Amino acid sequence: MRFLAVDDDPAVLEIITDLMERDGRHELETANSPLLGLEMAQANPGAYDAFLLDLQMPGMSGIELCAALREIEGLRRAPIIMVTRVSERGYIDDAFAAGATDYMNKPIDPLEWKSRIKMIERLHEERQRSEMLAMRAQASSPENQTPVDFEAAIPLHGQESAIEYLALENYLLTLDGRGLFAHAAMGIHVENALQIHRRANPVVFVETMGDVAAAIFEAVKAHSCMFAYAGAGDFVVVTSRQATIDRENLEFEINHALAEFESIYAADGLPTPRVRVGAQARGSLFGARRANVILQQALEKAQGTRIREAGVETRLLQLRKVLA
Amino acid sequence: MTEPFRGNTRAPSGGDQPVPRALERARALFESRLEEQILCIEQCRRDVAAGHAPDRALSEIAAQAHKIAGVAGTVGHTQLGELSATVETLIGQARNEGLAEEAILKGLHDDLEQMLDALEAALFDG
């Protein structure tokens, strides 16, 4: 992989260079200022697979740099890891909102470094595979498009407040017990996602989930929140614990917004997406509930009907086999 | 005009942790900048005391502490890293409380002294 590390401290760049050299499997370029880093990325976006950014830099913060990199065509899905000592929550929240994939604390621990680089490698490979599938899907005629895995957590680019599911998990993992307690997650399940997936071509399916994301954003934008698509028609919204979001009202607003496009979906032979919003899942101050457990609980609360839907689907498949 | 390095309190040891061979270059670079950083912090201390752009001078002390704290632990100067992190955090907290720069520096005296001692130990003992 090809990395670009941006930090105004030469000692940090030397540490990263030394660790990369010891690893020996990756190429690294460094920039000692955010503006130089941005210039390098803009001049040749294809030259970098992943970025390591400091947060506090003169002239332009790492958060601003992260947001600027995400604007560059070809870098929307590149892993961006914030490598910093800044531990204030506000910075971390802003970094993830700007498109950061993960967050690593300084001083860098060589062992932690190794495991993070491995994580970036896995992420990179996974993204290369899904990008290849997306390219094939777009290049081929609708009937020949490579199917999108229904369970895949497709990243929804260009939707404000929407981040990748993995980044949302990483964000919650940066919270300590009290921080996690201050947050809540709500699952939003597209009840007829499986039907849409079966009837729509891959590109239209992704666009339809994008429509749902836009409707979710409109309905929750008054609250400070982040959300992600988790795959299988499931979205999860993370808000502050104090955010007073009425579940039924949210469900109505999203469904109402989607219903306005009913005729367009009908013209494509698709049902209008219909969502179900689950009750909030919250962190526990005493129960040490883990971040991924909270996300899972939020999704399960919204999926009440999904299990039934899946049951019906399974029975239909069995019936088709018998009839065949 | 620079002050001589102080040596009136017991200095903590320099590199207190073994450093992987691969990080020796980074450690050497880090240590080569220590003298400049000590002089910078001392100058900023004097600026705050004299009321010469105290806001900027205190920010510079916090910035230096931030940089040192971000690297020291990785290159074997764990104690220096912890002391620097403390100084950075305390400056941030005191500023949030709206304290004047001179008062912040006064309250920070012992912590800053310890950090400077650790910096000197790292510089001279490696």
pLDDT band at A318 (very low <50, low <70, confident <90, very high): low
Evaluate whether residue A132 is within a structural domain.
Answer: no
- Shared domain for A78 and A171, answered yes or no, is no
Can you give the pLDDT at residue A167?
Answer: 85
Domain of residue A30, CATH code = 3.40.50.2300
- Shared domain for A181 and A93, answered yes or no, is no
- Shared domain for A39 and A188, answered yes or no, is no
End residue of a domain, out of A92, A126, A160: A126
User: To the nearest whole number, what is the mean pLDDT of chain A?
Assistant: 84
Evaluate whether residue A136 is within a structural domain.
Answer: no
Residues of A in contact with B29 (CB under 8 A): 10-11, 14
- Shared domain for A24 and A172, answered yes or no, is no
- Shared domain for A163 and A247, answered yes or no, is yes
The pTM for the full model equals: 0.69
Evaluate whether residue A316 is within a structural domain.
Answer: yes
Evaluate whether residue A273 is within a structural domain.
Answer: yes
Can you give the pLDDT at residue A143?
Answer: 57
- Shared domain for A13 and A87, answered yes or no, is yes
List CB contacts of A27: < 8 A, sequence separation 6 or more: A1, A2, A3
Mutate to test the interface with A, among B29, B86, B88 (most CBs of A within 10 A): B29
CB of B15 less than 8 A from some CB of A: no
Evaluate whether residue A231 is within a structural domain.
Answer: yes
- Shared domain for A114 and A25, answered yes or no, is yes
Domain of residue A280, CATH code = 3.30.70.270
Q: Region A208-227: what's the mean pLDDT?
A: 89
Range of the domain at A181: 150-323
| B41-70 pLDDT, tens digit each | 999 999 999 999 999 999 999 999 999 999
Say which amino acid occupies A191: E
What is the distance between the alpha carbons of residues A73 and A267, in angstroms, rounded to a whole number? 32
Instruction: Count the domains in chain A.
Output: 2
Q: Which of A9, A14, A22 sits opposite B70 (nearest CB)?
A: A9
- Shared domain for A101 and A13, answered yes or no, is yes
Does residue B12 sit in helix, strand or coil?
coil
- Shared domain for A181 and A219, answered yes or no, is yes
Residues of A in contact with B74 (CB under 8 A): 15, 106-110
Evaluate whether residue A253 is within a structural domain.
Answer: yes
> Residue A166, CB half-sphere, CA atoms under 13 Å: how many?
20
Please judge whether A56 and B20 are an interchain contact, meaning their C-beta atoms are less than 8 angstroms apart. no
| A10-36 pLDDT, tens digit each | 999 999 999 999 889 999 999 999 999
Residues of B in contact with A17 (CB under 8 A): 25-26
- Is the bond preceding residue B4 a cis peptide, omega within 30 degrees? no
Q: Which of B22, B71, B85 sits opposite A11 (nearest CB)?
A: B71
Q: Which of B26, B33, B88 sits opposite A15 (nearest CB)?
A: B26
Q: What's the gap between Cα A38 and its chain centre?
A: 23
- Shared domain for A6 and A88, answered yes or no, is yes
Please judge whether A110 and B72 are an interchain contact, meaning their C-beta atoms are less than 8 angstroms apart. no
Cβ proximity of B118 and B81 under 8 Å: no
CB neighbours of residue A41 within 10 Å:
23
Please judge whether B71 and A21 are an interchain contact, meaning their C-beta atoms are less than 8 angstroms apart. no
What is the distance between the alpha carbons of residues B34 and B112, in angstroms, rounded to a whole number? 15
In the block, residue with structure tokens 């000592």: A85
End residue of a domain, out of A64, A91, A126: A126
Please judge whether A15 and B81 are an interchain contact, meaning their C-beta atoms are less than 8 angstroms apart. no
- pLDDT above 90 coverage of chain A, percent: 40
The mean-pLDDT minimum among A112-121, A142-151, A241-250 falls in A142-151
Can you give the pLDDT at residue B11?
Answer: 34
Can you give the pLDDT at residue A140?
Answer: 59
Reference A202, options A267, A149, A265; nearest CA is: A149
Can you give the pLDDT at residue B13?
Answer: 41
Can you give the pLDDT at residue A313?
Answer: 60
- Shared domain for A94 and A185, answered yes or no, is no
Evaluate whether residue A141 is within a structural domain.
Answer: no
Given a cut of 90, whether residue A192 has pLDDT beyond it is yes
Q: Which CATH class is domain B23-125?
A: mainly alpha
Residue A59, by phi and psi: left (phi above 0), alpha (psi -120 to 50) or beta?
Answer: left
A20: nearest CA partner in chain B: B22
| A36-76 pLDDT, tens digit each | 999 999 999 999 999 999 998 989 999 999 999 999 988 98
Please judge whether B81 and A107 are an interchain contact, meaning their C-beta atoms are less than 8 angstroms apart. yes
Cβ proximity of A35 and A10 under 8 Å: no
Q: What is the ipTM of this complex?
A: 0.82
- Shared domain for A169 and A106, answered yes or no, is no
